[in-house]
Structure 1
Amino acid sequence: MNPNRKILALVTARGGSTRVPGKNIKMLAGKPLLAWTLEAVRHANLENIRLMVSTEDEKIAAVGKEWGAEVPFLRPSALAAADATSEAVVRHAVDWLDHHDHYRPDLILLLQPTSPFRSCRDLRDILGLQDETDADAVVGVTRYTRRLQWLQNADAQGILTGPLLPESRTRSTEHPAAYEFNGALYLIKTAVFMREQTFYPAHTRIYVMPPERSWDIDNEFDFLIADLLMQYQQKNGSDRQNFSFLK
């Protein structure tokens, strides 16, 4: 990888979660949820990287600093609302650093605390993929393993009206590979992001991750499963790269 590239690893963590109150600093297998993401970045030994948390919440800011991240500002409350976009939050952070620190990264690596199973290797590999291909962006995905022909439409009365996708009654083996965003990794050239205001510009590559590292915490059930998986890993001496119980 090019050691001269400046990388901003930006972890976005607002305090207003409704499905899981206090989610981003809720304890997951003995550590705040946010800490798992910060640890992965710190232990990946990436060169020329700046690790930062964007939040409006003072408690989250304190946890971020405790686990090795910069928290140079508290973001405006308007950017902590439920309808605030990730694009707006990232743009604010980039503009703040440019104005206050005269710092402009070459790449932005957006990380959400709700994906605690991404590994150090994932971080190194997605950066390596971007370096090798010079892609404008790389996004984390996982293979869509459910049967596409099972996706169905229904009307307002609950009556089945047919397949969601055209010609989706065929065998699943006949469908091309399908992928879904897993929310774990978003990597983009800063110049491209600031120009296009999207994480999915025209030249976007995928970085494929297995389901066990693509677990996204959105509700209490997701949190419970993640906690059990993390405890299993700790008990059995495995790590986020090696789920021995899934082999």
Structure 2
Amino acid sequence: MINGKTVLAVIPARGGSKGVPRKNIKLLAGKPLIAWTIEAAKQSAYLDRVVVSTDDEEIASVAKNYGAEIPFLRPPELAQDDTPGIGPVLHALESLPSYNYVVLLQPTSPLRESQDIDRCIEVCREREVQACVSVTLADKPPQWMYHLDGKSRLQPLLPKQPFVARRQEAPDVYVLNGAVYVAQSEWLKHSRTFLTDVTAAYIMPKDRSLDIDSEIDFLVAAELQKSRV
């Protein structure tokens, strides 16, 4: 709870991950991947309830062992490859009404800490905005990015922008890191997205912003976790 407002955390974890099979419960530095997110959430100063939204009984069992609640199993139609990321969050809000804020915590961000969760929530209150999401500094400026045309020729992503030869000359740009999404519950039900022109940003450092999507990401995350112990 923050300033008398209740806060629900939703950790989405479907069983059918394709890039890394059974990714959400694959061991990372001695713990299932999802455990790192549950533990960070449990250490938050503001989260009133931490629930895992899953369609998978094994994931549900693992999540319970680490202190998360499983008040429902997610319907199969909300656990498909093409299910929008907002779907499980809206389903959780329908199943568990009366929370003023909802926080989406993806288990693929195991380096995120409780301070990141709390600071993102605080930004919403301090700036009086409906939503806040975590971002990190982009590795490369968009002026260095291209797409390919039908003949595999380079086409600039920003064709009207002058080329920047040195990274130091480019303005800072930020990318979503997938770690923390916060929104007022009623606002989110209507907007159906965390990302609008009123969404605020909370900047996280690179060493806590890894979003796991491959086996290589697992190896990098494991080494980073070991260095933090």
TM-score (norm 1): 0.87
CA spacing shift, 1:47–1:144, aligned 2, 3 Å: closer
Separation (CA, whole Å) in 2 of partners of 1:70 and 1:157: 52
Cα shift at 1:145: 3.0
Map residues 133-144 of structure 1 onto 2, 5 A cutoff.
133-144=127-138
Cα shift at 1:48: 5.6
Q: SS at the partner of 1:53?
A: strand
Q: Match of 1:138, as an amino acid?
A: C
CA spacing shift, 1:147–1:88, aligned 2, 3 Å: closer
Separation (CA, whole Å) in 2 of partners of 1:48 and 1:110: 11
Runs of 4 or more, structure 1, over 6 Å off, are none
8 Å contact from structure 1 (residues 5, 48) kept in 2:
no
Q: SS at the partner of 1:51?
A: strand
Q: SS at the partner of 1:105?
A: coil
Partner of 1:56: 55
Q: Match of 2:218, as an amino acid?
A: F
Cα shift at 1:64: 1.0
Structure 1 residues without counterparts, runs of 5 or longer:
99-103, 235-247
Separation (CA, whole Å) in 2 of partners of 1:97 and 1:120: 23
Partner of 1:126: 120
Of the candidates 105, 111, 128, which is equivalent to residue 111 of structure 1?
105
CA spacing shift, 1:136–1:11, aligned 2, 3 Å: same
Cα shift at 1:85: 1.1
Partner of 2:157: 164
Cα shift at 1:174: 4.3
Q: Match of 1:222, as an amino acid?
A: D
Q: Match of 1:40, as an amino acid?
A: A
Q: SS at the partner of 1:21?
A: coil
Calculate the aligned-residue CA RMSD, in Å: 1.6
Q: Match of 2:217, as an amino acid?
A: D
Separation (CA, whole Å) in 1 of partners of 2:15 and 2:148: 37
Q: SS at the partner of 2:96?
A: helix
TM-score (norm 2): 0.93
Determine if the alignment matches structure 1 residue 211 to structure 2 residue 206.
yes
8 Å contact from structure 2 (residues 46, 118) kept in 1:
no
Separation (CA, whole Å) in 2 of partners of 1:107 and 1:79: 22
Q: Match of 1:115, as an amino acid?
A: S
Separation (CA, whole Å) in 1 of partners of 2:2 and 2:96: 22
8 Å contact from structure 2 (residues 143, 163) kept in 1:
yes
Separation (CA, whole Å) in 1 of partners of 2:47 and 2:141: 43
Cα shift at 1:223: 1.1
For these two proteins, the number of residue pairs brought into alignment is 227
Cα shift at 1:138: 0.1
Q: Match of 2:51, as an amino acid?
A: M
Separation (CA, whole Å) in 2 of partners of 1:201 and 1:19: 29
Structure 2 residues without counterparts, runs of 5 or longer:
none
Q: Match of 2:27, as an amino acid?
A: M
Partner of 1:223: 218
